[in-house]
């Protein structure tokens, strides 16, 4: 999916350096965004979750002519300290951050939210999917003396109920609120914080949700455009929000879902 489009090339990110967090494989949303930013001249440091992912991520990173790869587990303060120290040592300052990270256990992503959400599962989903963005926003802002831009990834399950999305919907609602508060705190430093709400896309994360494939089908069939959410649209929105095209945009949750989010009732059969 990620490779059936060619990101438009240009200079919109020329001279800008930043961090992309959350590439696991070639289908990751973070990878589509990274390809687009690189095609527009950005220099990117990639963080990845741990050694087991390095083998898969390295060839991707090298394929776009980059080589900065740093392990970072968002649940581990020492790992986060080391990652941001490494970036500071290398570049001194950055211009952008992409946070494309979430996790909830398979047991939580099925059936009843009320019945299946454990205290530990809730804590883990909120820690990895929400607190990590707050933590990254703080760390990144400390190395953005000239201002900058940050984005995170969310989904309609924050705003409306979606089968099986459960605790992740609760976490995404918190992530969207965190986006607005971070935008408020960092705005005076010239740092714009926004979120992209993408439609369902075929990635590792989607595979963890019971009925995830049907979410894609419904997203397509009910959407205004009658099509799947495309990586090029998500990556294009990221380019807009992270480049100077996005001037004056802050605290926004921008939907890239073929219009699915505005549908209240799907098309009806003729009476
Ligand atoms: N796929 C979709 O349909 C969809 C739709 C809307 C929003 N999103 C969001 O997009 C983002 C990226 O997901 P994706 O669909 O590209 O799937 P993905 O599985 O490719 O990416 C998720 C990433 O989170 C990382 N991660 C998980 N736990 C981590 C930890 N402890 N430390 C560091 N990294 C950790 C994984 O390594 C992986 O790179 C997530 O926030 C997801 O909720 C996905």
| Residue 5 domain-assigned (yes or no) | no
The parts of the chain modelled with pLDDT lower than 50 are: 1-3
The predicted pLDDT at position 127 comes to 98
Q: Which of 48, 165, 181, 240 is catalytic?
A: 165
The predicted pLDDT at position 173 comes to 99
Asked if residue 96 lies in contact with residue 148, where contact means CB atoms within 8 angstroms, the answer is yes
| Residue 12 domain-assigned (yes or no) | no
Asked if residue 1 lies in contact with residue 231, where contact means CB atoms within 8 angstroms, the answer is yes
Domain residues for the domain of 91 are 17-258
Does the beta carbon of 212 sit less than 6 angstroms from any atom of ligand 1? Answer: no
Which tens digit of pLDDT belongs to each residue from 5-63? 999 999 999 999 999 999 999 999 999 999 999 999 999 999 999 889 999 999 999 99
Total structural domains within the chain: 1
The predicted pLDDT at position 137 comes to 98
Model confidence, pTM: 0.98
Asked if residue 183 lies in contact with residue 193, where contact means CB atoms within 8 angstroms, the answer is yes
The number of C-alpha atoms within 13 Å of 21 and in the hemisphere containing its C-beta is 28
Does the beta carbon of 104 sit less than 6 angstroms from any atom of ligand 1? Answer: no
Ligand 1 binding pocket mutation candidate from 102, 194, 260 (most atoms within 8 A of CB) = 102
Asked if residue 176 lies in contact with residue 123, where contact means CB atoms within 8 angstroms, the answer is no
| Residue 65 domain-assigned (yes or no) | yes
CA of 102 to the centre of ligand 1 (A): 5
Does the beta carbon of 229 sit less than 6 angstroms from any atom of ligand 1? Answer: no
The predicted pLDDT at position 80 comes to 98
Share of the chain above pLDDT 90, in %: 95
| Residue 104 domain-assigned (yes or no) | yes
Q: Which of 48, 131, 155, 240 is catalytic?
A: 155
Does the beta carbon of 102 sit less than 6 angstroms from any atom of ligand 1? Answer: yes
Q: Enter the tokens of residue 248.
A: 């004056």
| Residue 129 domain-assigned (yes or no) | yes
CA of 129 to the centre of ligand 1 (A): 9
CA-nearest residue, atom 32 of ligand 1: 73
| Residue 263 domain-assigned (yes or no) | no
Annotated active-site residue 165? The verdict is yes
CA of 28 to the centre of ligand 1 (A): 7
The predicted pLDDT at position 4 comes to 83
The predicted pLDDT at position 247 comes to 97
Q: In what order do the strands lie in the sheet with 43-48?
A: 68-71, 43-48, 17-21, 96-99, 148-154, 191-198, 253-256
CATH number at 30 reads: 3.40.50.720
| Residue 9 domain-assigned (yes or no) | no
Is the Cα dihedral 157, 158, 160, 165 positive or negative? Answer: positive
Helix (H, G, I), strand (E, B) or coil at 6: coil
The predicted pLDDT at position 1 comes to 45
| Residue 8 domain-assigned (yes or no) | no
Which tens digit of pLDDT belongs to each residue from 130-151? 999 999 999 999 999 999 999 9
Asked if residue 104 lies in contact with residue 121, where contact means CB atoms within 8 angstroms, the answer is yes
The residue count for the chain:
271
Annotated active-site residue 48? The verdict is no
DSSP state of 195: E
């Amino acid at each position: 999916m990620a490779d059936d489009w060619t990101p438009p090339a240009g200079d919109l990110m020329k001279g800008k350096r930043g961090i992309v967090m959350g590439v696991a494989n070639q289908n990751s949303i973070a990878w589509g965004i990274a390809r687009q930013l690189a095609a527009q001249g950005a220099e990117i440091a990639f963080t990845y979750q741990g050694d087991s992912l390095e083998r898969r991520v390295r060839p991707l990173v090298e394929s776009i002519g980059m080589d900065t790869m740093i392990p970072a587990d968002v649940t581990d303060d020492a790992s986060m300290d080391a990652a941001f120290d490494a970036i500071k040592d290398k570049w001194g300052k950055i211009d952008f951050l992409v946070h494309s990270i979430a996790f909830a256990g398979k047991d939580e992503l099925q059936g009843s939210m009320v019945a299946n959400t454990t205290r530990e599962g809730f804590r883990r989903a909120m820690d990895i999917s929400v607190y990590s963005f707050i933590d990254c926003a703080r760390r990144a802002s400390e190395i953005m003396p000239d201002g900058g831009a940050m984005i995170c990834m969310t989904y309609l399950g924050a705003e409306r109920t979606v089968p099986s999305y459960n605790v992740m919907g609760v976490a995404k609602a918190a992530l969207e609120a965190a986006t607005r508060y971070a935008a408020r705190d960092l705005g005076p430093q010239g740092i714009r914080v926004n979120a992209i709400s993408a439609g369902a896309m075929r990635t590792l994360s989607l595979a963890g949700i019971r009925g995830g494939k049907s979410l894609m089908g419904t997203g397509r069939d009910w959407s205004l455009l009658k099509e799947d959410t495309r990586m090029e649209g998500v990556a294009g929105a990221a380019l807009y929000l992270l480049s100077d095209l996005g001037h004056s945009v802050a605290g926004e949750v921008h939907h890239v879902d073929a219009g699915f989010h505005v549908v209240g009732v799907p098309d009806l059969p003729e009476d």
